[in-house]
């Protein structure tokens, strides 16, 4: 009786490099880098411009054309990691742009000059200054106001589709800060058509002997599926009358450093038809004076999932 012919022992490492490149181009950046350890053909594909061209945002050439200084690179992979490690300044210095390293999603920061600040150009109330620890040439310092209102916006189409984002005010307090411990400020994120919004309130104050803290009470609504919002830790609703306490996270650590306070979360579905995502910080009800807040801008980046 004749024996059966031996079965093929082909494996994934035997795939042609063009097939490997196509498969890798569908993966997240982290998986592309890990795949280079599989074989020489995988390593070659994982370094190819073809793969990283697919990983990079399709509108990247247009974004790079808006850079204040030329962005130099020798390969698409080098460009990707350049944009992950060092934000580039765009739009005449009013914004910065970078990529999230794990996902390749777009991130932006709107500088204080890009924001609408009530009385922001009146030097009796606000002062534009240069600080060495800011990525922008100017930040704005609050001298004294009783009506605090700051707004900003970004087109949903500028962000990466099918992505859960969070937005943060980036700020710090001066040594002579006052007026932020007795009244809540309201932080909000909304869609320009007014159909979806999320709001939260916070006491923000500077403790000279510890970190800046915020006490949150939040409320939110979710409508539709294109863009949605959720307060911290809750997708649809917040437990009524609950007061959550959270520290603002230092960007580098220690007192005097830039801190971030989360405005809210939102989801970009990719079919928003010209809608804008709008952000605001307001404290207008108390009628009391406040001073010593330094505002760098609003940072918008993909929401990081908590580690297990």
User: Is it the case that residue 51 has pLDDT exceeding 60?
Assistant: yes
Say which residues have a Cβ less than 8 Å from residue 139's Cβ, sequence separation at least 6: 111, 112, 128, 129, 130, 131, 294, 295, 296, 297
β-partners of residue 50 are none
β-partners of residue 90 are 67, 95
Q: Is residue 17 very low, low, confident or very high in pLDDT (cuts 50, 70, 90)?
A: low
Say which residues have a Cβ less than 8 Å from residue 160's Cβ, sequence separation at least 6: 57, 103, 105, 106, 268, 302
Of these ranges, 11-15, 64-68, 258-262, the one predicted with the greatest mean pLDDT is 64-68
CATH topology of domain 89-302: Jelly Rolls (2.60.120)
Two structure tokens written together for 262: 């989360």
DSSP state of 184: -
Provide the 10 A C-beta neighbour count for residue 302.
20
Provide the 10 A C-beta neighbour count for residue 269.
14
Q: What is the pTM of this model?
A: 0.79
Q: What sign results for the dihedral spanned by CA atoms 96, 101, 104, 105? A: negative
Contact 126, 142 (CB under 8 A): yes
Q: Is residue 292 very low, low, confident or very high in pLDDT (cuts 50, 70, 90)?
A: very high
Chain-wide mean pLDDT for the chain?
A: 77
Two structure tokens written together for 307: 């580690």
Q: What mean pLDDT is predicted for residues 8-21? A: 57
- DSSP labels for 223-272? -SSSS-EE-TT-SS---TT--EEEEPEESS-STTS-EEEEEEEEEE-S--
Domain ranges of the chain: 16-85, 89-302
User: pLDDT digit string (tens) for 103-145?
Assistant: 999 999 999 999 999 999 999 999 999 999 999 999 999 999 9
Query: 154: closest CA among 301, 300, 280, 277?
Result: 277
Q: Is residue 9 very low, low, confident or very high in pLDDT (cuts 50, 70, 90)?
A: low
Say which residues have a Cβ less than 8 Å from residue 14's Cβ, sequence separation at least 6: none
Query: 32: closest CA among 18, 14, 40, 20?
Result: 20
Minimum mean pLDDT range among 79-93, 214-228, 289-303: 214-228
Minimum mean pLDDT range among 65-79, 173-187, 189-203: 189-203
Query: 57: closest CA among 237, 282, 270, 234?
Result: 270
Between CA 10 and CA 7 the distance in angstroms is 9
What pLDDT score was predicted for residue 228? 38
What pLDDT score was predicted for residue 226? 37
* Helix/strand/coil for 40: helix
DSSP state of 1: -
The torsion angles phi and psi of 303, rounded to 5 degrees, stand at -70, 125
Q: Is residue 217 very low, low, confident or very high in pLDDT (cuts 50, 70, 90)?
A: very low
Say which residues have a Cβ less than 8 Å from residue 217's Cβ, sequence separation at least 6: 184, 200, 201, 202, 241, 242, 243, 244
User: Is it the case that residue 245 has pLDDT exceeding 60?
Assistant: no
């Amino acid at each position: 009786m004749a024996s059966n012919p031996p079965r093929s022992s082909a494996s994934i490492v035997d795939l042609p490099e063009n097939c490997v490149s196509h498969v890798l181009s569908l993966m997240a950046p982290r998986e592309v880098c890990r795949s280079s350890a599989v074989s020489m053909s995988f390593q070659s594909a994982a370094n190819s411009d073809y793969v990283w061209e697919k990983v990079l945002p399709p509108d990247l050439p247009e974004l790079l054309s808006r850079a204040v200084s030329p962005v130099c690179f020798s390969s698409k992979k080098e460009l990707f990691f350049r944009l992950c490690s060092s934000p580039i300044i765009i739009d005449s210095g009013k914004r910065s742009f970078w990529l999230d390293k794990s996902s390749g999603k777009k991130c932006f920061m709107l500088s204080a000059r890009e924001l609408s600040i009530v009385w922001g150009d009146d030097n009796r109330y606000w002062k534009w200054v240069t600080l060495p620890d800011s990525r922008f040439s100017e930040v704005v310092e609050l001298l004294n106001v009783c009506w605090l209102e700051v707004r900003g916006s970004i087109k949903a189409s500028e962000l990466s589709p099918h992505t859960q984002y969070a937005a943060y005010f980036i700020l710090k307090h001066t040594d002579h800060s006052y007026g932020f411990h007795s009244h809540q400020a309201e932080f909000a994120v909304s869609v320009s058509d007014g159909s979806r919004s999320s709001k939260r309130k916070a006491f923000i104050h500077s403790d000279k002997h510890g970190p800046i803290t915020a006490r949150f009470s939040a409320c939110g609504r979710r409508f539709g599926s294109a863009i949605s919002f959720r307060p911290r830790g809750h997708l649809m609703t917040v437990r009524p009358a609950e007061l959550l306490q959270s520290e603002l996270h230092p960007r580098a650590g220690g007192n005097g450093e830039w801190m971030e306070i989360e405005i809210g979360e939102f989801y970009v579905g990719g079919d928003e038809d010209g809608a804008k995502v709008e952000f605001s910080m307001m404290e207008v009800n108390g009628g009391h004076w406040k001073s010593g807040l330094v505002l760098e801008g609003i940072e918008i980046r993909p929401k990081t999932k908590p580690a297990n």
